[in-house]
């Protein structure tokens, strides 16, 4: 219920540059835009040009405290509202987000460098879908009756946890935020989000849009850096649940801090997802599937990206050559241009990190780096963080490129000869987020699906997160699930037992 004047337009706009300026220098707390208590800001950069397009409020402990206190006040009333009504409001948010899909697509393309047509607009659509899905689940917050004794009524009820602190990364910030905010709200919690320093704008606009229907204080967002803003959010005494998506390293810091307060934590961390291609697969479908699985349209900046592809030897050469041709056909360019397939890397630091992996791969004896696609020629993009995708062959299991998460447009393709060997190779990883198998032999496929160490295994497809399907990893890929009814019940409520002695 946004009532204070603010510079952002009411109607959807695709002038993302003007919108970015209007969103500058503020957090969204208690139903309104407010600058950081210190007045400090930091720049938001368009990675396709290097130009500063906005500033973001430099959130610190004082801002976190203001947001959490507002969220805690709002939570008392929010939790009293009938669950279906909360769901209806979240559903109404989804309708507004749908109207703003194109706008949000443009804005996220501007700040992250992800191509509008292949990635950014799609992400905005999925976000609306996630809110719509969870908006319908209010009536599923059910408890049980427990057969304790004939004269004692014994029931369980699902109660919200309180204020949820959510910390999100920059790669798919709107979607990853939706996976936390939607179930948290429907379950009766209120939320304070700490956005990623590289991508604070589109998530802020989503917060504003949703505050058109949510009571003030239910959904707040602060921009800022990890140690100054994320850490105080995790440690705030009134935050009763922490949900985090990001790196394994930071995830461990967050989990440790939350454990000091004994609050539950959900962690969605990295991945090194294997894609296993058998010679009997539907070849054309698999080539097309691999192209999307590698997430090169997102510059490989995805934890579910098929970053190690194992191909049965008889079709290995043909597969590699088809993949090279397919990636060569992708257009790298201005993320806001509808013709663009591949945009930019998010930041200079990430750019250098990915380049380091590529150089290491090139220097490995026996390895071949197949550089694909062409750099954009537009002089306006000469400072952009564009990086040609690379397909490596000739690397083995000991390579850092096979073992570590690169989070860039780099895939390693390796041949295999037998299902047991490829299963062992696929499971030989600290990660366990997602995996895909491509075969027409469903007996082999299902057998391997059961034995792959991953939270999500898909046969003959490799879709991104879908509403209603639990998503989350094992091993170092994380703790807990998102995106489903079970995830909402398990991670955003607790079960209270109530007993009535009627004797
Ligand atoms: P990435 O490499 O994707 O930036 P991080 O795990 O560093 O991964 O960042 C994910 C999110 O975690 C970001 O919003 C970041 O600001 C936040 N973050 C970083 N350090 C901390 C910390 N010590 N405590 C809480 N949040 C943090």
pLDDT band at 5 (very low <50, low <70, confident <90, very high): low
pLDDT band at 87 (very low <50, low <70, confident <90, very high): very high
Helices 201-210 and 101-112 pack at an angle, to 10 degrees, of 150
Residue 419 lies in a domain: yes
First-to-last C-alpha distance (Å) of the chain: 48
**pLDDT value at residue 196:** 98
251 with 363, same domain: the answer is no
Residue numbers of the domain that contains 21: 16-270+477-497
Among 169, 348, 408, 478, the mutation site with the greatest number of ligand 1 atoms within 8 A of its Cβ is 169
pLDDT at 207 over 90: yes
* Contact status, residue 442 vs residue 338, Cβ threshold 8 Å: no
Give the residue from 151, 190, 60 showing the smallest Cα distance to 492. 190
In the reported structure, the alpha carbon of residue 197 is separated from the centroid of ligand 1 by a whole-number distance in angstroms of: 9
* Contact status, residue 115 vs residue 127, Cβ threshold 8 Å: no
* Contact status, residue 477 vs residue 455, Cβ threshold 8 Å: yes
CATH of the domain at 99: 3.40.605.10
pLDDT band at 253 (very low <50, low <70, confident <90, very high): very high
* Any atom of ligand 1 within 6 Å of the Cβ of 279: no
pLDDT at 6 over 80: no
* Any atom of ligand 1 within 6 Å of the Cβ of 225: yes
Give the residue from 391, 388, 335, 286 showing the smallest Cα distance to 119. 335
What's the number of domains the chain is made of? 2
88 with 212, same domain: the answer is yes
Going from the C-alpha of 380 to that of each of 48, 105, 168, 363, 384, the distances in angstroms are 9, 21, 31, 32, 8
Choose the catalytic residue: 16, 218, 281, 303. Answer: 303
Residue 386 lies in a domain: yes
* Any atom of ligand 1 within 6 Å of the Cβ of 234: yes
**pLDDT value at residue 7:** 83
170 with 292, same domain: the answer is no
The C-alpha atoms of residue 372 and residue 391 are separated, in whole angstroms, by 8
Strands (E), 27-146: 27-29, 32-34, 41-45, 52-57
Nearest CA to ligand 1 atom 22: 226
Going from the C-alpha of 8 to that of each of 5, 15, 249, the distances in angstroms are 9, 11, 36
**pLDDT value at residue 4:** 55
- Greatest alpha-carbon pair distance for the chain in Å reads 83
Residue 471 lies in a domain: no
Residue 5 lies in a domain: no
Nearest CA to ligand 1 atom 14: 196
In the reported structure, the alpha carbon of residue 460 is separated from the centroid of ligand 1 by a whole-number distance in angstroms of: 34
Q: Average pLDDT of the chain?
A: 97
Residue 39 lies in a domain: yes
CATH of the domain at 304: 3.40.309.10
pLDDT band at 329 (very low <50, low <70, confident <90, very high): very high
pTM: 0.97
426 with 491, same domain: the answer is no
Atom of ligand 1 nearest to the CA of 169: 10
**Residue 303: active-site member:** yes
**Residue 228: active-site member:** no
231 with 244, same domain: the answer is yes
Atom of ligand 1 nearest to the CA of 167: 14
Tens of pLDDT, residue by residue over 384-443, are 999 999 999 999 999 999 999 999 999 999 999 999 999 999 999 999 999 999 999 999
* Any atom of ligand 1 within 6 Å of the Cβ of 253: yes
279 with 293, same domain: the answer is yes
Tens of pLDDT, residue by residue over 466-485, are 999 999 999 999 999 999 99
Arithmetic mean of pLDDT, 241-253 = 98
Arithmetic mean of pLDDT, 198-212 = 98
* Any atom of ligand 1 within 6 Å of the Cβ of 248: no
Among 167, 171, 229, 254, the mutation site with the greatest number of ligand 1 atoms within 8 A of its Cβ is 167
pLDDT at 1 over 50: no
Arithmetic mean of pLDDT, 158-168 = 98
260 with 300, same domain: the answer is no
Give the residue from 45, 54, 44 showing the smallest Cα distance to 18. 54
Strand 478-479 to 265-268 pairing: antiparallel
The C-alpha atoms of residue 252 and residue 249 are separated, in whole angstroms, by 5
Give the residue from 221, 139, 126 showing the smallest Cα distance to 187. 139
* 3-state SS, one letter per residue, for 420-442: HHHHHHHHCCCEECEEEEECCCH
The C-alpha atoms of residue 287 and residue 229 are separated, in whole angstroms, by 43
Tens of pLDDT, residue by residue over 116-161, are 999 999 999 999 999 999 999 999 999 999 999 999 999 999 999 9
Choose the catalytic residue: 268, 312, 405, 453. Answer: 268
Residue 472 lies in a domain: no
Atom of ligand 1 nearest to the CA of 196: 14
Q: Which two tokens stand for residue 466?
A: 């879908």
């Amino acid at each position: 219920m946004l009532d204070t004047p603010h510079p952002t337009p009411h109607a959807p706009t695709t002038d993302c540059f003007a919108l970015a300026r209007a969103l500058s220098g503020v957090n969204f707390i208690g139903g309104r835009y407010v600058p950081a208590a210190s007045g400090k800001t930091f720049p938001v950069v368009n990675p396709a040009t290097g130009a500063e397009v906005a500033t973001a409020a430099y959130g610190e402990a004082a801002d976190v405290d203001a947001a959490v206190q507002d969220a805690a006040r709002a939570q008392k009333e929010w939790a009293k509202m009938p669950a279906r009504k909360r769901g209806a409001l979240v559903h109404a948010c989804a309708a507004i987000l749908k109207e703003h899909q194109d706008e949000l697509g443009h804005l996220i393309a501007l700040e992250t460098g992800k191509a509008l047509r292949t990635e950014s607009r799609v992400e905005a659509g999925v976000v609306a879908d996630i809110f719509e899905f969870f908006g319908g689940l209010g009536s599923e917050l059910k408890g049980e009756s427990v057969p304790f004794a004939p004269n004692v009524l014994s029931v369980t009820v699902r109660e919200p946890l309180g204020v949820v602190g959510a910390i999100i990364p920059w790669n798919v910030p709107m979607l990853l935020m939706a996976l936390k905010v939607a179930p948290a709200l429907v379950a009766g919690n209120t939320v304070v989000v700490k956005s990623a320093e590289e991508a604070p704008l589109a998530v802020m606009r989503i917060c504003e849009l949703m505050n058109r229907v949510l009571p003030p204080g239910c959904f707040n967002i602060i921009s800022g850096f990890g140690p100054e803003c994320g850490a105080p959010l995790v440690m705030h005494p009134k935050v009763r649940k922490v949900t985090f998506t990001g790196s394994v390293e930071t995830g461990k810091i967050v989990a440790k801090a939350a454990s000091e307060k004994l609050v539950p934590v959900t962690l969605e961390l990295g991945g090194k997802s294997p894609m296993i291609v058998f010679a009997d697969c539907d070849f054309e479908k698999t080539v097309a599937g691999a192209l999307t699985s590698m997430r090169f349209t997102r510059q490989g900046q995805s934890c579910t990206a098929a970053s190690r592809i194992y191909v049965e030897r008889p079709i290995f050469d043909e597969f590699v050559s088809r993949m090279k041709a397919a990636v060569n056909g992708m257009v790298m360019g201005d993320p806001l241009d509808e013709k663009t397939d591949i945009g930019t890397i998010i930041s200079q630091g990430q750019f250098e990190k990915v380049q380091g992996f590529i150089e290491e791969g090139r220097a490995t004896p026996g390895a071949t780096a197949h550089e694909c696609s062409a750099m954009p020629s537009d002089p306006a993009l000469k400072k952009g963080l564009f990086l040609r995708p690379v397909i490596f062959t000739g690397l083995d299991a000991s390579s850092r490129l096979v073992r570590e998460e690169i989070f860039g447009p780099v895939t390693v393709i390796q041949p295999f000869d037998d299902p047991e060997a490829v299963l062992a190779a696929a499971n030989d990883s600290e990660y366990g987020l997602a995996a895909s198998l491509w075969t027409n032999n469903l007996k082999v496929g299902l057998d391997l699906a059961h034995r792959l160490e991953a939270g999500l295994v898909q046969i003959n497809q490799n879709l991104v997160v879908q509403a209603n399907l639990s998503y989350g990893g094992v091993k170092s890929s994380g703790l807990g699930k998102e995106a489903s009814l079970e995830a909402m019940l398990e991670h955003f409520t607790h079960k209270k037992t109530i007993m009535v002695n009627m004797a």
